[in-house]
Amino acid sequence: MDAVILAAGLGTRLRPQTLTTPKPLLKVQGRPILDWIVGALPPQVDRLFVVTHHLREQVAEYLAQQSKFALALEVFQHTPRGTGDAIISCLDHLRSENVLVLNGDDLFGAADIHNLASEGPGVLCHPVDQPEKFGIAFPGSDGNIASLVEKPNITGTHLANTGAYLFPLSVVQQPLKLSPRGEYEITDFVTKAIAQGPVRLVSAKFWYPIGNQEALDGAQLLDLSVCASLR
């Protein structure tokens, strides 16, 4: 199975560190964030593509030195136009029936990613108490995902989209339209997948997004044994 890690962002909320180091290579407990993500990839994955833009050479160097995958390529996103565009930039390389896609700046549980990759299309979701800060997944009566809504004006505990997806290749090969903010959105691929059939709502036991310095500092104190490889 092909896996795509989205690592093209500027990491503006973690400046000045990200002026000289791409956010996915900032270290958590002595290891780059990207290394934790690569280490959590399941046995089904045998080809890895990492989408880059900012300070791409450093990510390419990391991939050249890693030993987990024989094929691990950096794919340059020339003009970043959203997370959907990042996947589009990989289309010439992708060939597996399903494609695993992960944000490159979050920590994921290895067992959760394994569950996501083990069946059909799905989105990994985790409960949050501040839904207005996240993309929220709403289940249908069958328990599968009915819709994703970005930062809804609601309260209570809801299921956040963690930024981990399993897409059919046939879905990500479909064209996207620019969103109102002028980007190609990965969530539009979710909508297209729902139109083709059920998209699983896969529950995550562990997810830690690293959006700012406070979160990065907090990650240094976590028990990250859940991120250990199942390969």
The CATH number of whichever domain residue 170 belongs to comes to: 3.90.550.10
Please, what is the Cα angle at 173 between 172 and 174, to 5 degrees?
90
pLDDT of res. 54? 87
> What's the predicted TM-score (pTM) here?
0.94
Alpha carbon 89 to its chain's center: 15
pLDDT of res. 231? 64
User: What total of structural domains would you count in the chain?
Assistant: 1
116 belongs to a structural domain: yes
Bridge partners, residue 162, by sequence: none
154 belongs to a structural domain: no
Rounded CA-CA distance 187/193 in Å is 10
With a CB cutoff of 8 Å and minimum separation 6, the contacts of 67 are none
pLDDT of res. 10? 83
**Torsion over CA: 124, 40, 5, 16 (sign):** positive
What 3 state SS string does the chain have? CEEEEEECCCCHHHCCHHHHCCHHHCEECCEEHHHHHHHCCCCCCCEEEEEECCCHHHHHHHHHHCCCCCEEEEEECCCCCCHHHHHHCCCCCCCCCEEEEEECCEEECHHHHHHHHCCCCEEEEEEECCHHHCEEEEECCCCCEEEEEECCCCCCCEEEEEEEEEEEHHHHCCCCCCCCCCCCCHHHHHHHHHHHCCCEEEECCCEEECCCHHHHHHHCCCCCHHHCCCC
pLDDT of res. 40? 95
Please, what is the Cα angle at 18 between 183 and 13, to 5 degrees?
60
According to DSSP, the β-strands at 122-128 and 200-203 are parallel
Distances (CA, A) of 220 to 23, 33, 210, 213: 15, 11, 11, 11
153 belongs to a structural domain: no
144 belongs to a structural domain: no
**Residue closest to 20 by CA, chosen among 55, 59, 49:** 55
pLDDT of res. 181? 85
Average pLDDT by stretches of 10, the chain with 231 residues = 93 89 95 95 94 92 88 88 93 96 96 95 96 93 92 94 97 93 92 94 96 95 90 64
148 belongs to a structural domain: no
What's the domain range around 49?
A: 2-125+161-227
88 belongs to a structural domain: yes
For tokens 């903010």, what's the residue?
181
143 belongs to a structural domain: no
pLDDT of res. 51? 96
| Beta-carbon count within 10 A of 135 CB | 21
Rounded CA-CA distance 197/17 in Å is 43
Rounded CA-CA distance 152/157 in Å is 12
150 belongs to a structural domain: no
